[in-house]
Amino acid sequence: GAGVSQSPSNKVTEKGKDVELRCDPISGHTALYWYRQSLGQGLEFLIYFQGNSAPDKSGLPSDRFSAERTGGSVSTLTIQRTQQEDSAVYLCASSKDRSYGYTFGSGTRLTVV
């Protein structure tokens, strides 16, 4: 597509429920990133996918967080047993590879109540 598409744009969930966030990267971009942006905070790296290689999960804050990328394209970030501190904007970005600039989606604003 023309840009990075994320869905949903907003998600309100109850504490303890699981959520899935979706990212559609730009066609042909082999690198895909998930970041988290909390109010007043900078962007926090979560996970990186490059082609068919094993993902770099070093930024995931706990084992409640997981992500997959199917067919080298669409990615899903799953948060299990959500907590209030998970409330943030989750941003997905893609690039031609890790040396190039990122194109970000508009993000998913997650609110855990």
Provide the binding-site residues for another protein, judged by CB under 8 A: 4, 33, 35, 42-43, 45, 48, 50, 56, 59, 91, 93, 98-99, 101-107
Instruction: State the CB neighbour count (10 A cutoff) for residue 10.
Output: 11
Please report how close the Cβ of residue 28 comes to another protein at its closest, in angstroms: 17
Please report how close the Cβ of residue 64 comes to another protein at its closest, in angstroms: 21
Please report how close the Cβ of residue 26 comes to another protein at its closest, in angstroms: 13
What is the Cα–Cα distance from 9 to 90, expressed in whole angstroms?
Answer: 10
Question: Using an 8 Å Cβ cutoff, are 75 and 25 in contact?
Answer: yes
Closer by beta carbon to another protein, 14 or else 27: 27
Closer by beta carbon to another protein, 55 or else 80: 55
What is the Cα–Cα distance from 86 to 108, expressed in whole angstroms?
Answer: 12
Question: Using an 8 Å Cβ cutoff, are 62 and 46 in contact?
Answer: no
